[in-house]
Amino acid sequence: MNTTIKGLLGAVLGSIPGLALWVILGYFNIFSAYAGLVIAFGIMIGYSKLGGDVTAAGVVLCIAVLLVTIYLGVHLSWSAQIYEWQPDLQMAVFGLYDWLHKRGLVGSFFGDLGMGYLFGILGAVGVIRRTR
């Protein structure tokens, strides 16, 4: 298997602990740059463990994984909160946008997502600086 593909797999696997932390903190409406740091650190460690040295292409892949992971974290933490109000897992996860539109909360969701990306990027910059 190609080292880039191995690195991508490692980055995805490495993002899981940070994703779990993000969802838990987000469920309690706690936003922290530390969750972004954990995600970024896990991604970089995972990439390097399975893919070797992080090249320029590796950094681009790691950033892509970071962006997707943060989106999933925000989506799942909102879904978990909705599930408490309306215990229908399929609706909470897959019907999130409909639920947001009906309640006029689309702006709040995307505000959280923007804040998440800001925290994730801050965390990634810190991790990249330490690895260089």
3-state SS, residue 54:
coil
Which whole number is the average pLDDT over 36-60?
88
Residue 128 scores a pLDDT above 80: no
Which whole number is the average pLDDT over 37-57?
89
More confident: 85 or 66: 66
In sequence order, the 6+-apart residues with CB closer than 8 A to the CB of 15 are: 39, 42, 43, 46, 65, 66, 69
Which whole number is the average pLDDT over 72-79?
94
Residue 113 confidence (pLDDT):
93
Residue 132 scores a pLDDT above 70: no
Residue 14 confidence (pLDDT):
96
- H/E element holding 91? helix 89-94
76-83 own/partner pairs: CB under 8 Å, 24+ apart: 76/19, 76/23, 76/26, 77/22, 77/23, 77/24, 77/25, 77/26, 77/27, 78/26, 78/109, 78/112, 80/23, 80/26, 80/27, 81/27
Residue 66 scores a pLDDT above 80: yes
55 DSSP assignment: -
Which whole number is the average pLDDT over 76-98?
89
Which whole number is the average pLDDT over 3-7?
90
